[in-house]
Structure 1
Amino acid sequence: MAGCAVGGPSPRLPVARPVDVRRAAVRLVKGDGRAFLAVLALNGAAAGTGLAGPWLLGRIIDEVRGGGGVGAVDRLALAILLCAVAQLLLARWARYVGHRFGERILARVREEFVDRALALPASVVERAGTGDLTARGTADVDIVGKTLRDSGPELLINSVQALFLIGAVFALDPLLGVCGLGGLTGIWFVLRWYLRRARAGYLAEGAAGSEVAEIVAATASGARTVEALRLERRRIAASRDALDASRRRRLHTLFLRTVFFPGVEVSYLVPVVTVLLVGGMLHDRGAMSLGAVVAAALYLQQLSGPLDEILMRIEQLQSSGASFARVEGLARAPRAVPSRSPEPADDRIDVTGVRYAYERGGEVLRGVDLTVRPGERLAVVGPSGAGKTTLSRLLAGIDAPTEGSVTVGGVPVVGLGPERLRRQVVLVTQEHHVFLGTVRDNLLIAEPSSADEELWAALTAVGADGWVRDLPEGLGTRLGTGGHRTDGSQAQQLALARVVLADPHTLILDEATALLDPATARHTERALAAVLEGRTVIAIAHRLHTAHDADRVAVMEDGRLTELGTHDELVGAGGAYAALWERWHGERTA
């Protein structure tokens, strides 16, 4: 049966530091520097054109107060209209360039994430949990993408506009500019309070979301185990706890926003009122015209629009910044690097004094010594929890032993790079995956250069050629959503066919035929044995007929190798294996 996690939260993948996120953002911007400069130039031009409106309106007021004619007012009004049209066109062009810039950056973020995810060692992914990686690759990447496509360009646009508006007030009168900036200090204090709390809040919210995804994924993948062991109530309780923690994290970030936005809205009125009061006093003394006072007030009134957008985008940046830190965190995770170790001398596997303990559990393997000869068929049997699966993971190089060594041809298995390891040892479990695409696509993953004849031979070897020939388009039939939906046994047969095509020196079967019915499983195992003649096969035996057909049988009990020999030798010895065989054989004949 598939395992199901019922413990506490699993170790998470790394999260990037703020400095790493900033460096990554700068690196992404530099990668498309010309477009970034174009966005800056277009936004600057649009913002500069928009400054003309309030200044021309102030001129109209002064013309009217000074007794100017209608023609002068009309000309100024026409100038305002032309400037508005020019600003509209420049702003639209700037947004178009900015969004294209954001889409290109988003594409690079996605490509980097996929590359980094594929470079992660399997042990890192399994310890972290697929829920965390899935959440980062979907929700977090989506949030980062929306920020780079929308929030980033909008923040840039509105920042340029805000700077130009403040500069315009200073140009009218430095004293009014100082008053306007002084009125904005309330926004600074509210923003500082918010920023001190937001990043931690959004990171906690993201982690809680990953925990929900992990629990749902583990429960769904281990549904049979949950049902068999009657763990429904425990899984429901764990799900409720995770959802409750996620709700509390979301409520905390919501509280931050309810303080941040009202405080900002109130602060918008302060600089306008301040400038009107000071400007009125200056006008009363004849130091400033009424048009200049009105223009300064309008500039500051217009400032609320860009500032509102800036602060809203800053709020979004806290959420997306936390997501970016989770996405960029994969760069800090261990990577599967190409091997620099020497080529194995042969296919002999030696397990010497191996001990292994999981990070949050006790010792699983306790001093295991084992030698697997090239071409041998070895069955590993034992009760549940004896350490069989853990041993198979060490043999396949997925995990490294806590103590001792696992070598192939004298070279540590964990020291082999991914490509060399695939040629040497392949682990096949009962967990399998059917990729979106045709049957042919699913098989060519193992060996892209294979011809159709080789694909049919691999399918025949595992007993899958029959149902594949019955498909509407044979090898060209699309699988998955919108196509043929495979059941558990068909998906597992496809996985085994990929192994045949990969043609490794050593094959480890960890209950790889558990989802097949007994007749199909026995046929598949015999077919594999025939195809893999001369190869080393290590089978974690679920059904003891696999042990009966093996050259030797290794018996695991409580993390130790207690018996080793042929089937007949162990049955004759009357030990643990004999008891297992007698019980299993009795159930079969009952």
Structure 2
Amino acid sequence: MSHPMPGGGGMGGWSMLRAMRDSDEVAGHRLGRGTARRVVAFARPYRRDIVVFLVTVVFAAAIGVATPVLAGDVINTITRGGPSAGSTIVRLALFIAALAVADALLSLAQRWYSARIGEGIILDLRTQVYDHVQRMPLQFFTRTQTGALVSRLNNDVLGAQRAFTSTLSGVVSNVIQLVLTAGVMLTLSWQITLLSLVMLPVFIIPARRVGKRLAEITKESYDLGAKMHATMTERFGVAGALLVKLFGQPEVEAKRFARRAERVRDIGIQSAMYSRTFFVAMLLVASLAQALTYGLGGWLAVTGAVSAGTVVTLALLLTRLYGPLTALSNVRVDVMSALVSFDRVFEVLDLTPGIAERPDAVTVPRGNGRLEFRDVHFRYPSAAEVSLASLEDVATLDRTVSEPVLRGVSFAVEPGRMVALVGPSGAGKSTISMLLSRVYDVTDGQVLVGGVDVREATLASLRDEIGVVTQDSHLFHETIAENLRYAKPDATDDEIWAALAGAQVDGLVRALPDGLDTVVGERGYRFSGGEKQRLAIARLLLKAPSIVVLDEATAHLDSESEAAVQRALSVALAGRTALVIAHRLSTVRDADQILVLDGGRIVERGRHEELVAVGGLYAELYRTQFAVADSPRPFVDATGPEPIPGLPLGEYVTDGAPPAAPSPN
């Protein structure tokens, strides 16, 4: 009889401990306007399940109070005796057994509905946040801590789920159980009821102090855990692991990590002792209250004021009184904790996506290939426009409006032609490619593809029309086939092999033991830079866009890999409109037109020979790079590939890259 708070009471103790631990964080968070109303609206699809769930909670609470009352009736029947006592006791026992079966069934029903509601809410929240985050502008991802963002999809979503499972059911169950229990106890003996509550402050006041200290060390543990997680993520990534091996000090790294891990261990021990102290105190107080009940109740029973069964009933009901009282004493924190989790999720959902498709969007003409920039101005959004302070781990967001990156840029590229963008770093070259692909929208002016303003086009048709190869083409940690099908999900194996052949990399893939099923590794690090670029070109060929954007596609490659990539690009550009961004001017000498950018403006335009003769910025850049004039020839023009002299097609060395081509000069 001395076990504290059976059934829902034990969970009330856990709820109280968690609530006290979270109280500081809750107190420091200001809820957004209308959060509670949005939560109710969000739960509307589950209203029937929630009603059924709450009904089961009510019946379970009623059974929890009825069972001790029946147990008292059994004791009274035994003490009274009589010829019918035996049959009465059997009937009461059967009734108690029936209630136990009903309680078990209700428990299963509660768990089923709780899981159905909770998992449904998790599904809805996660999918909404994931879909919304994908639509955020690129600058959002450059500013946001990835771990903090992932936490919104995991920890905060789970916290929001708790609002409809443990918090909602706990509040309803505890209120009903408290009202019924207190009502029955006061009816049986108000003196014993009041005496049993004397011990409650003795428990709650010290428990709050324990909870405050537990909150402090838990926060420290979370902070240390986050730092350890960040350290492991950085050091265990391929790039980080390589940097540590080249420049790191393993002993220093190990000692720094060990210090944090040791502190986490110490906190874990302290936390375990605080938690155990909390529950030992709960057990002790409940046992002492029971002792008082038995003492006063026994004396009253001996004097004839109450029956023996009443004393037993009161002692059993007492175990169901402390749990709801302790839990409800922190109900505000419980509810606020759940609302805070919802609010943190809503913060992300309330961020304005950078790109939105208009309801009346039109389809870009397939295969047109013409692109045009008309007096385009652009500035990057400020942090306050695209991010959250909590996701950047800063107190306040920077609201400074950045200077324009592009200032009145105008040019056109006819179908099948190649235009090159050159200029010093920060001139706005890559920004132009992002505006064309609609990673960002212009601040002023127009970007047209196939005669359609990209802001008025459907995103799907725009993606189909434009293909991009960057200087560091990303590959997911999946198979080669899955990475290529990212461009065309319904592509057949034959189409994939044709794309690989066009990218001059089919021989390498065929030589791999698993072929198309080869997993490329994190960020594609199982392949060399040239091999990754050719796989990216194969992905582009599979997509078959009319417009190709090459953003420094060969910037970080050695001469052998560059020659192989340029051969693949010759195939990729054949018959397509090309916008090429390059620092190596030798790779764009054969472009139909070269645009020279500086300070966000086009300061020169023309062919290579014309710009060199003018003696302006292009000529200065070209003279600076003259020492590397013997670099491999470019991907010529968009009319077709130009064979590299002395290099047989399909010839590969062991690492998959073709041997160096003789200098075209």
Q: TM-score range by the shorter chain?
A: 0.7 to 0.9
Query: How do residues 323-342 of structure 1 correspond to structure 2 at under 5 angstroms?
Result: 323-335=341-353, 336-339=355-358, 340-341=360-361
Mapped partners of 1:219, 1:564: distance in 2? 46
Q: What is the aligned counterpart of 2:623 among 560, 582, 589?
A: 582
Mapped partners of 2:56, 2:247: distance in 1? 61
Report if aligned partners of 1:132, 1:211 keep a CA contact under 8 Å in 2.
no
**2:371 matches 1:348:** yes
Change (3 A) 1:408 1:367: same
User: Aligned letter for 1:369?
Assistant: V
Q: Residue 300 of structure 1 aligns with which residue?
A: 318
Mapped partners of 1:412, 1:194: distance in 2? 63
Report if aligned partners of 2:74, 2:89 keep a CA contact under 8 Å in 1.
no
Question: What is the CA distance between 1:128 and its match in structure 2?
Answer: 4.1
Q: Residue 464 of structure 1 aligns with which residue?
A: 505
Question: What is the CA distance between 1:295 and its match in structure 2?
Answer: 2.6
Give the TM-score taking structure 2 as reference length. 0.66
- Which stretch shifts more, 463-472 or 22-31? 22-31
Q: What is the aligned counterpart of 1:363 among 385, 403, 417?
A: 403
User: Aligned letter for 1:471?
Assistant: L
Question: What is the CA distance between 1:184 and its match in structure 2?
Answer: 7.3
Question: What is the CA distance between 1:566 and its match in structure 2?
Answer: 1.6
Change (3 A) 1:223 1:453: closer
For the pair shown, which has the larger CA radius of gyration, 1 or 2?
2
Unaligned runs of 5+ in 2: 1-28, 383-397, 632-665
Report if aligned partners of 1:337, 1:417 keep a CA contact under 8 Å in 2.
no
Query: How do residues 492-507 of structure 1 correspond to structure 2 at under 5 angstroms?
Result: 492-507=533-548
Mapped partners of 1:45, 1:555: distance in 2? 77
Change (3 A) 1:532 1:40: same
Alignment length (residue pairs): 562
Mapped partners of 1:219, 1:576: distance in 2? 42
Mapped partners of 1:16, 1:507: distance in 2? 48
Mapped partners of 2:517, 2:425: distance in 1? 41
CA RMSD of aligned residues (A): 5.4
Question: What is the CA distance between 1:151 and its match in structure 2?
Answer: 6.5
Q: Residue 446 of structure 2 aligns with which residue?
A: 406
Unaligned runs of 5+ in 1: 1-14
Q: What percent of counterpart residues are identical?
A: 28
For 1:531-562, what per-residue CA distance to the aligned partner results, in whole angstroms no more than 9, with x for missing partners?
A: 33343222221433322232222233344433
Mapped partners of 2:35, 2:208: distance in 1? 20
Question: What is the CA distance between 1:395 and its match in structure 2?
Answer: 3.1
Change (3 A) 1:176 1:131: same
Query: How do residues 506-545 of structure 1 correspond to structure 2 at under 5 angstroms?
Result: 506-545=547-586
Report if aligned partners of 2:422, 2:581 keep a CA contact under 8 Å in 1.
yes
Mapped partners of 2:237, 2:453: distance in 1? 32
Report if aligned partners of 2:157, 2:345 keep a CA contact under 8 Å in 1.
yes
For 1:352-402, what per-residue CA distance to the aligned partner results, in whole angstroms no more than 9, with x for missing partners?
A: 15242452564252524230322332222233333332333233322234x
User: Aligned letter for 1:365?
Assistant: V
Query: How do residues 120-519 of structure 1 correspond to structure 2 at under 5 angstroms?
Result: 120-128=136-144, 130-141=146-157, 144=160, 161-169=177-185, 172=188, 289=307, 291-292=309-310, 294-306=312-324, 321-335=339-353, 336-339=355-358, 340-341=360-361, 347-352=370-375, 354-359=377-382, 360=398, 362-363=402-403, 365=405, 367-375=407-415, 376-401=417-442, 403-409=443-449, 411-435=452-476, 437-480=478-521, 485-486=526-527, 488-519=529-560
User: Aligned letter for 1:325?
Assistant: D
SS of residue in 1 equivalent to 2:602: strand
User: Aligned letter for 1:372?
Assistant: A
SS of residue in 2 equivalent to 1:363: coil
Give the TM-score taking structure 1 as reference length. 0.73
User: Aligned letter for 1:543?
Assistant: R
Mapped partners of 2:220, 2:375: distance in 1? 43
Q: Residue 17 of structure 2 aligns with which residue?
A: none
Question: What is the CA distance between 1:135 and its match in structure 2?
Answer: 2.9
**2:126 matches 1:110:** yes
SS of residue in 1 equivalent to 2:60: helix
Report if aligned partners of 1:47, 1:161 keep a CA contact under 8 Å in 2.
yes
- Which stretch shifts more, 558-567 or 423-432? 423-432
